[in-house]
A and B are shown apart, each in its own frame.
Chain A
């Protein structure tokens, strides 16, 4: 198993309701999640906004510390490791962020953005940056460009290149196509599909859009208000959704209607 998550709870202080004196009240975001991510699997995590899916992603990467419960990554309990202990492991689980405009340092060139993590883990950078650019389908000359000189789809490819350059075992993709237009979405999804196959990655793909997830994932978790309401293989979920929340999500997918008449 790549990830084993057991009874995961997470609450964060609500600074907007912090009283003048004393601690802020805590909001309970994740309420007892239990699931596994087998090696080589592509897991879809679906839910509406506020369902806790991004928080779950950030807890899995230990950008947030769980309040209780266990996160086991490849046999190591990472739930409460301190940053110094996590750092050597961080090469193995990487993340692709939702908004590449925010996740790529605007004052660094693409080459530096991809090489930075490599250097931190003592890997040689020379060929690897070019390799990573090539794998995501960007020309090598892009290494000397700044993020604002690229289009949205190209920026997201840089985000992917940075994650795969480290050759991680696991990648979390957090809503990575929601900011892109439909044709870039398709390209980025195709790319991700190819990379998963070529590199033998384990992937968790967070999205609010079930149609995007259907393309990519073998198994789906549906989150609603911090709880798993349904967990099923992709086909089963699309054919016979059990939870009413899942049915509502499925109904929200716009279907192409060949008989539509414009009047």
Chain B
């Protein structure tokens, strides 16, 4: 009977496999980009400009996904672009989560003056238009990887704070919190050992979502030329360049776009998949 229940609770999780598989593949590609990329992503060759992908006519061997107008290999640029995208997703996502979730948890559990200060701060923060805020911030800090990460954290921590605060508040009203007090647990201990495990599924779901958002924000910033310097390949930068020649060379736009799409989708599906797999409470 126990075994039967275990099977019911642990489905194979196609969602987890597909999204996790794509992201692992991407991570490997990013780490080993110098080894597996067929060409230097920055090497220009005007004689090889706008080569189509391999199944069309007029290709050169070795340029699987074609080249852009300057003759740079699209596949190699996508592989190198994955580096930046994943670094931004991981670092910015994690930092945003840590800051936002901590503030949200404290505000939602302790309430009182602590909640009032944090909540008012979040309200004021959210009144700024986020994209303008990011552009302004990068204009001040100067473009670069660190600036992108700071911009994402600064814009998005409020999302975590809001959601986790609400979640911590509803958990704080449950009797198991009163029961922890009856048992003699300190307030801080209750927050960490009783509340946190119950908001963790929400935090993980938000974190993976945030990683997807971070990839998009990085792409948007590259698109408006505010990401890191123009010669490092980024997906957003490729999309921006591809847009100008979409009628002559659609592949320069479409391949990075598909990669971006699959990556963001995988991040959000990963969150759901992890929850299905590891959360003991069936919803």
Contacts and interface: CB of A to CB of B under 8 A. Distances in A.
Contact of A106 (B5, B185, B186, B198): B198
Interface string A148-169: 1100000000000010001000
From A93, A120, A162, name the one whose CB has the most chain B CB atoms within 10 angstroms.
A120
A108 B197 contact: yes
A205 interface: no
Interface stretch (B66-74, B92-100, B138-146, B175-183): B175-183
Given A63-B181, A103-B175, A87 B186 contact: yes
Interface in A102-125: 102-108, 116-117, 120-121
A58 B183 CA distance: 14
Nearest to A172: B182
Contact of B183 (A88, A98, A120): A120
A148 B281 contact: yes
21 contacts: A63-B181, A83-B181, A86-B184, A90-B182, A90-B183, A91-B184, A94-B183, A95-B178, A99-B175, A102-B174, A102-B176, A103-B174, A103-B176, A103-B178, A105-B194, A106-B280, A106-B281, A107-B198, A108-B197, A120-B184, A149-B5
Counting chain A CB atoms within 10 Å of each CB, which of B176, B193, B197, B281 scores highest? B176
A146 interface: yes
Contacts of A104: 176, 179
Interface of A: 58, 61, 63, 83, 86-88, 90-91, 93-95, 97-99, 102-108, 116-117, 120-121, 146, 148-149, 162, 166
Nearest to B184: A90
B282 interface: yes
B182 A146 contact: no
Nearest to B179: A103
Contacts of A97: 175, 178-179
Given A102-B174, A102-B176, A149-B5, A61 B182 contact: yes
Interface string B181-206: 11111110000011001101000000
A83 B181 CA distance: 9
Interface residues of B, number: 23
Given A108-B197, A146-B281, A148-B282, A102 B175 contact: yes
A261 B135 CA distance: 82
Interface of B: 5, 174-176, 178-187, 193-194, 197-198, 200, 279-282
Nearest to B183: A117
B179 A120 contact: no
Contacts of A99: 175
A148 B263 CA distance: 35
A121 B180 CA distance: 12
Given A148-B281, A149-B5, A107 B178 contact: no
B111 to A, nearest CB: 11
Contacts of A106: 176, 198, 280-281
Nearest to A174: B175
Contact of B185 (A98, A120, A149): A120
Given A106-B281, A107-B279, A116-B185, 10 more contacts: A63-B178, A90-B184, A102-B174, A102-B175, A102-B176, A103-B174, A103-B178, A106-B176, A120-B183, A146-B280
Contact of A107 (B179, B180, B197): B197
| B182, B184, B186, B197, most chain A CB atoms within 10 A | B182
A111 B280 CA distance: 15
A236 to B, nearest CB: 33
Nearest to A58: B178
A81 B277 CA distance: 45
Contacts of A117: 183-184
Contacts of A120: 183-185
Contacts of A88: 184
A90 B181 CA distance: 9
A178 to B, nearest CB: 14
Nearest to A102: B175
B279 to A, nearest CB: 8
Contacts of B198: 105-107
Contacts of B185: 116, 120
B182 A63 contact: yes
Most chain A CB atoms below 10 A, which of B174, B183, B186, B198? B183
